[in-house]
Amino acid sequence: MSSSFFENQDAARRNTSRLVVLFALAVVAIDAMLYALAVVLTGGQVDRVTGQAELILDWWQPELLLQISLLTLAVVALGSLYKISQLRAGGHVVAEALGGTPIPTDTRDREERKILNVVEEMAIAAGLPAPPVYVMEQEPGINAFAAGFSPSDAVIGVTRGCVRQLSRDEFQGVIAHEFSHILNGDMRLNIRLMGVLHGILLIGIIGYFLLRSSMYASIGRRNRDNSGMAMLAIGFGLMAIGSVGTFFGTLIKASVSRQREFLADASAVQFTRNPLGIAGALKKIGGYQSGSLMQSPNAPESSHLFFSQGLRGGMQSLFATHPPLDERIARLDPSWQGAGDTVGQGASETLAAGAAGFAQQGAAPAEEAAFPFSPDGNAVHQIGRPTLAHLDYARKLVEGLPPEVVGAIR
Amino acid sequence: MLIGVVGIVLVFIVVFVAVLVGVFNKLVALKNRYGNAFAQIEVQLKRRYDLIPNLVETVKGYMSHERETLDAVIQARNTAVSGLQAAARNPGDPAAIQGLAGAEGALGGAMGRLFALAESYPDLKASQNMQQLTEELTSTENKVSFARQAFNDAVTAYNTYKQSFPAVIVAGMFGHGQDASLLEFDSEAIAEAPKVSFG
């Protein structure tokens, strides 16, 4: 398996190109739907002889098709350009929005020195310049991100939890994963997809405004005339097409994002030649109370950038920006059974349902963790009958202890 | 008729020259790439050689009666420094690369023995200076191995291109007769793994 990281990379790249084609097809489908809407709306005619309204549908109107296509293209392009200009501000803007502070290159702090050293090592392995590094002091979860439009303005951010909880090899794997995002231009790809998605959203927004304005306009008049009805129909149609398009676009974008994660995992193995490092980091995320969750209010906008799922909810769903931990670990470490060891389904659920995590770097986990002992009189009956939940809780309690304490006990 | 034949011949000559120019340029580019990759290793190895006297200086205060081991480290380091200088002058030369690899292996063995000894000096391990030096040495060693990985990849790309079809015919003529050699450090270090005894 470890020798097949090149194959894994190729597979992920192939899947990405397929999905990007699908994304382009989605835009074409939206264009087709808009054309259909236009055909239906322009097809209404009043028969000169009988004076009755009838619908004549002519499905081949090249001129109309061209007009609609150009209009769709213009709207989508406008929306994309707006969004892309917003997003391509450069990595440091994102890092600062997420609460990161830059590490000075001449730092004397041992932990920060280690971070910079590992980043430099991976820069050599990936053949890229070493980017500036940001630390998110407030985040106890294990996570990291790469941001920036191109390698020249890229930055890498790591959470304090990431540095504290992971061994050097595991941390190296995480950083190598982020370098793969920079090297493969994943941030650029994502920003472009987000741009087009925004353009599709714009179609829906235009529809919404048309609907609203025609409704306000019709309130003033007593009898709705035809143009009012047409406006209503156009608005409704645009809204429907826009939301369906956004739905499928988001779905495809999420799959692209998941493929890029697999690619980055495989590339991390290529750079470090050590699949167990990054697999270990993923296992720790699975077993760790705070997991990889981010607390920054700005995290949702950048969820796709992270090393591991940064947001709660949608863990297994189609909209997740990251593949399930189990699957990522299994690809890196085929001998892994997933049994009770770390993640497993149960632990993921506890993770999602659990509280925000350790108060501060594993200081006092007891209050925050999901306490499985019922506080009422039943406590007596639970003595000597530990359930899975209790074991899980005990394990997390031990994990939360500072390493010095654990070392002293042993 | 004659014009047609001359035209065809001319086209052939133009295509032939274009291919030759392409092969020549690609060989030069690949050779420069592995040269550059070697420069990266050189930077990291130099840094490592600069750190070792600091390490010995720090360690001396704690383990003064392990003179032999310390001297062996310094000696191995000096041999490696001259090996690196020889290899840097000609990164494609197999003999120079082998010399450097041997010296590096010996240095790795000596360092391994030093660190194994340091295990039995808790004060030394706890010292701020030693911890910093250990981190820097670990990182530098990692950088050396990643740079070596990149160098070996570049050498492999060069050799593969040189040995494949159009290039294999003309590589010798263009001064690319000899294959570049890969850089392997580990052989001797593995053979001479530090012995740790639990007395």
How large a percentage of chain B has pLDDT more than 70?
A: 92
User: How many whole angstroms separate alpha carbon A11 and alpha carbon A305?
Assistant: 21
Encode pLDDT of A28-39 as tens digits.
999 898 898 888
Whether A63 is catalytic: no
Q: Is pLDDT at A170 greater than 90 in this prediction?
A: yes
- Residue B110 near residue B69, CB atoms below 8 Å: yes
**What is the per-residue pLDDT for A122?**
92
pLDDT tier at A312, thresholds 50, 70, 90: low
> What was the pLDDT predicted at A57?
76
Domain coordinates of chain B in residue numbers?
Answer: 38-191
Residues of A in contact with B138 (CB under 8 A): 117, 168
**Chain B neighbors of A124, CB-CB under 8 A:** 40, 44, 143, 146-147, 150
CB contact under 8 A, B135 and A114: yes
Average pLDDT over residues A237-249: 90
Q: What mean pLDDT is predicted for residues A215-238?
A: 72
Q: Which chain A residues are closer than 8 Å to B136 by Cβ?
A: 113, 117
Nearest to A124 among B131, B132, B147 (CB): B147
CB-based contact B75:B54 (threshold 8 Å): no
Is the CB of B142 inside 8 Å of chain A's CB atoms? yes
Mean pLDDT calculated for residue range A272-296: 81
A370-379 mean pLDDT: 45
Most A CBs within 10 A among B139, B145, B151, hence the mutation to make, goes to: B139
Contact of B12 with chain A, judged by CB distance below 8 Å, is answered with no
Chain B interface, best mutation among A111, A124, A133, by max B CB count within 10 A: A124
Does the pLDDT of residue A304 top 90, yes or no?
no
Locate the chain A residue with the closest alpha carbon to B137: A117
Q: Does B36 touch chain A (CB under 8 A)?
A: no
Helices A344-353 and A388-400, interaxial angle, to 10°?
A: 70
The mean pLDDT value for B12-40 works out to 89
Please judge whether A124 and B146 are an interchain contact, meaning their C-beta atoms are less than 8 angstroms apart: yes
**Residues B162-188: what's their mean pLDDT?**
77
* CA–CA gap between residue B195 and residue B199 (Å, rounded): 12
Residue ranges of alpha helices (H) inside A221-291 are: 226-272, 275-287
Average pLDDT, chain B: 83
Number of C-beta neighbours around residue A184 at 10 A: 18
The sheet with strand A144-147 has its strands ordered as A101-102, A133-136, A155-159, A144-147
B96: contact with A, CB 8 A cutoff: no
What pLDDT band is residue A131 in, cutting at 50, 70 and 90? very high
A-facing residues of B in 55-84 (CB < 8 A) are none
Who wins on pLDDT, A323 or A359? A323
Q: What is the arithmetic mean of pLDDT over A393-406? A: 61
Q: At what angle do helices A325-332 and A344-353 cross, to 10 degrees?
A: 140
Nearest-neighbour CA in chain A from B147: distance (Å): 6
Task: Identify which of A114, A127, A172 has the shortest CB distance to residue B150.
Answer: A127
Contacts of B139 in chain A (CB under 8 A): 114, 117-118, 120-121
Mutate which of A108, A115, A121 to test chain B, going by most B C-beta atoms within 10 A? A121
Q: Has residue A365 got a pLDDT over 50?
A: no
Is any Cβ of chain A less than 8 angstroms from the Cβ of B152? no
pLDDT at A286 over 50: yes
Judged against a pLDDT cut of 50, whether residue A193 lies above it is answered with yes
Proportion of chain A above pLDDT 90, given as a percent: 15
- Which one of A110, A120, A168 has the shortest CB-CB distance to B132? A110
With vertex at residue A284, the alpha carbon angle to CA A283 and CA A289, rounded to the nearest 5 degrees, is: 125
Distance, CA of A395 to CA of B157 (rounded, Å): 49
Query: Does position A289 have pLDDT exceeding 80, yes or no?
Result: no
Among A178, A261, A301, A327, the active-site one is A178
Residue B174 has φ and ψ, to the nearest 5°, of: -85, 5
Question: What is the pLDDT at residue A397?
Answer: 64
A143-157, A194-208, A331-345 — which is least confidently predicted? A331-345
The CA angle A138-A140-A142, to the nearest 5 degrees, is: 125
Instruction: Give the gyration radius of chain B's Cα atoms.
Output: 24
Asked if A113 lies within 8 A of B143 by C-beta distance, the reply is no
The answer to whether the CB atoms of A121 and B139 lie below 8 A apart is: yes
Residues of A212-239 as b/e, b for ≥16 C-beta within 10 angstroms?
eebeeebeeeeeeeeeeeebbbbbbbbb
A405 band by pLDDT with thresholds 50, 70 and 90: low
Interface of A with B (CB under 8 A): 110, 113-114, 117-118, 120-122, 124-125, 127, 168, 172, 271, 273
Judge whether residue A280 has pLDDT over 80: yes
Which of A182, A38, A69, A184 has its CA nearest to residue A119?
A182
Contact at 8 Å (CB) between A109 and A170? no
Chains A–B, number of C-beta pairs less than 8 Å apart: 35
Taking residues A309-318, report their average pLDDT: 59
pLDDT at B100 exceeding the cut of 60: yes
The alpha carbon dihedral of B94, B98, B104, B108 has a sign of positive
**pLDDT band for position B120 (50/70/90)?**
confident
Of B138, B139, B149, the CB nearest to A125: B149
State pLDDT tens for residues A58-100: 788 888 889 889 988 898 889 888 888 877 777 888 888 888 8
pLDDT class of A300 with cuts at 50, 70, 90:
low
> Chain A residue with minimal CA distance to B36?
A127
Alpha-carbon span A147 to A36, nearest angstrom: 40
Q: What is the pLDDT of residue A368?
A: 35
Interchain CB distance below 8 Å, B142 and A113: no
Is the CB of residue B133 less than 8 Å away from at least one CB of chain A? Answer: no
For B128, nearest residue in chain A (alpha carbons)? A110
Across all residues in chain A, what is the average pLDDT?
A: 77
pLDDT tens-digit readout, B29-65: 888 888 888 888 888 888 889 999 888 888 888 877 7
Are B139 and A127 in contact (CB < 8 Å)? Answer: no
Estimate to the nearest angstrom the gap between the alpha carbon of A19 and the chain centroid: 16
What pLDDT score does A90 carry? 79
pLDDT at B194: 45
Query: pLDDT category, A211, cuts 50, 70, 90?
Result: confident
Please list the helix, strand and coil fractions of chain A in percent, rounded to the nearest 5, in that order.
65, 5, 30
Shortest distance, CA A139 to any CA of chain B (angstroms) = 25
For A297, the token pair is 């209010």
Cα–Cα distance, B57 to B31 (Å, whole number): 40
- For A270, the closest chain B residue by CA position comes to B149
ipTM of this complex prediction, to 2 decimal places? 0.70
Q: What is the C-alpha to C-alpha distance for residues A225 and A230, in angstroms, rounded to an integer?
A: 9
Burial class (CB in 10 A: 0-12, 13-18, 19+), A68: buried
Rg (CA), chain A: 27
**Does the distance separating the beta carbons of A271 and B150 come in below 8 Å?**
no
Close Cβ partners of A143 (under 8 Å, ≥ 6 residues apart): A158, A159, A161, A162, A285, A292, A293, A294, A306, A307, A308, A310
CATH hierarchy code of domain B38-191: 1.20.1440.20
What are phi and psi for residue A316, nearest 5 degrees? Answer: -105, 0
DSSP-derived letter for residue A222 is S
